[in-house]
A and B are shown apart, each in its own frame.
Chain A
């Protein structure tokens, strides 16, 4: 068979099981777009900004765990993707990003829409390619998928010059699709040492990270917690891996964790850290985190073992495989004294959620949204957030019950993530209701994707928590910069209901609703995109808060 490079890319994407891609065309990507059009097998979601396309792909990948694809042209198309790709890198999300490039002979001449995509993408990707020869595509495309999904997942960027897309090649058979590598063998000696530590501990805490989601190990992690009587905390990335109403769940730790959670960690004598990387927002001042605890650390990325905290037992491996072998070595323990102490701390220092009964206040709205969902399908819903106060309130208050339910920008903390990611999730999982909690600042960073959402008629419900401010920064200035509020409050109110309607999206306003709960239930429980606006008090705070540079037990408020 004879293929052009572009046709080959399309065939190889098909082989990887790709049915939907998101992107925006342009001169250097035109052969690829023409091949997509000619073949007609892959649905293309036309975003309004490449960053939107990147986050739509992320939403697909985060909802399913499979690598998703975004496409852009050279130059500005490629640079517009960078933020979404960097975001995927920091949260270990499998993406394959394909960009057009100026023809090989023009690379380095400052040609129209030429940027050094290869150079720009190095620090924000797991791996990247500049394809110099059409035959290389046979190896590069499958390998990109293999790398994106192997070990610790991440984004892989493939830059393809226009002439390589147009060059033709004669081949008999297509190469096999790329599949993730097998995980490394588990060191059984280390595993036995871990089991000994867990069995001997007096006040252990289980600390779960996003790796549990990636490995599909949440049921096993819950089993470990139940078997060994381990109170369990989760990072932002791991919310939902243990259901929030589980008696052993301590919720999220760290900067905006509940007081009891951080206090319990402080008293632990053993931390069992699974698929987490001791992020500074989770552990505060590293030297003072869990001062009396020995550490068992399991991660698929060997470089994470000892990067921030030196573990007493470090196990390099897939956390699901590790747990499979570890569970039989773990004694059943009721752990009465420690769990009694844990409940004592929990009742003495609970998470305070003022205004919970008022659906027009921050915590109350989040609670009202969760309650308004049809209980039969509430667990199926996907929740995305943007970045700011609203994100942390959702992390604290939303009753997450399963992995891949909470999609949020953790590592990069990218405003503008929520809505396009929700759109991607809704495209990948059309039977679910996808709820995006956004803030007025974040929402305006990718507001153009409302048009894409209208095109797709996606089942996304945007809960816009409008405090007329960059609320999280407002809070920081208020608390740590002597309330010198500067460049945080928006002067003019934008009419978000009309903006949404202008894009062809239904919209309603809880501010003027006679019965806000009824309005919410109505908006959430019928199919199709909808924006639900609600004003939020700009003075509301995310509490407790660990001040910058402090240790986790030096919380303020809450």
Chain B
């Protein structure tokens, strides 16, 4: 991740928030991040926590909205350990609430 760009600034780019429900195991993050890395698609923010009994996690990704994003979403959806993908617009607040930790 580019250090300067990772300073969160909502005005800098038009963004999208992806919400992935995944199987919670040690390899799943590699699968997801690898897909973005090989396409040189920068992930601006990433947040992951187990949910429910811990068998699943939710991964939140903050990404730039560009013309490759639909293809990225299709590729992520193909991952076996990714159970569902939801795409939220710029108005989603999950990353904004974390801003305090990155001041």
A residues with CB within 8 A of B: 118-119, 122-123, 126-128, 130, 147, 301-303, 306-307
Q: Closest Cβ of chain A: how far from B22's Cβ, in Å?
A: 13
Q: Closest Cβ of chain A: how far from B67's Cβ, in Å?
A: 11
| Cβ B74 vs Cβ A302 within 8 A | yes
With A122-B27, A127-B80, A130-B27 already in contact, the answer to whether A307 and B34 are too (CB < 8 A) is: no
With A127-B80, A306-B70 already in contact, the answer to whether A122 and B75 are too (CB < 8 A) is: no
| Cβ A307 vs Cβ B80 within 8 A | no
Q: Assess whether B48 is interfacial by the CB under 8 Å rule.
A: no
- Majority-rule SS of B interface residues: helix
- Least CB separation from A152: chain B residue: B78
Provide the B67-91 mask, 1 if CB < 8 A to any CB of A, else 0: 0001100110110110000000000
Q: Which residues of chain B from 2 to 58 have any CB-CB distance to chain A below 8 Å in the complex?
A: 27, 30-31, 34, 38
Cβ of A147: which chain B residues have Cβ within 8 Å of it? Answer: 80
- Cross-interface CB contact of A123 among B34, B77, B78, cutoff 8 Å: B34
Count contacts between A and B, CB distance < 8 Å. Answer: 28
* C-alpha spacing A127/B25, complex, angstroms: 14
Cβ of A306: which chain B residues have Cβ within 8 Å of it? Answer: 70-71
- Least CB separation from B72: chain A residue: A303
- Least CB separation from B26: chain A residue: A130
- Least CB separation from B73: chain A residue: A303
Q: Closest Cβ of chain B: how far from A174's Cβ, in Å?
A: 23
With A130-B27, A303-B75 already in contact, the answer to whether A123 and B80 are too (CB < 8 A) is: no
**Could you jot down 21 A-B contacts, CB within 8 Å?**
A118-B27, A118-B30, A122-B27, A122-B30, A122-B34, A123-B34, A123-B38, A126-B80, A127-B80, A127-B81, A128-B27, A130-B27, A301-B78, A302-B74, A302-B78, A303-B71, A303-B74, A303-B78, A306-B70, A306-B71, A307-B74
| Cβ B31 vs Cβ A307 within 8 A | no
| Cβ A303 vs Cβ B77 within 8 A | yes
- Least CB separation from B78: chain A residue: A303
Q: Closest Cβ of chain A: how far from B52's Cβ, in Å?
A: 20
Cβ of B74: which chain A residues have Cβ within 8 Å of it? Answer: 302-303, 307
- Least CB separation from A118: chain B residue: B27
* C-alpha spacing A119/B28, complex, angstroms: 11
Q: Closest Cβ of chain B: how far from A143's Cβ, in Å?
A: 9
| A118, A303, A306, A307 interface centre (most CB from chain B within 10 Å) | A303
* C-alpha spacing A302/B85, complex, angstroms: 14
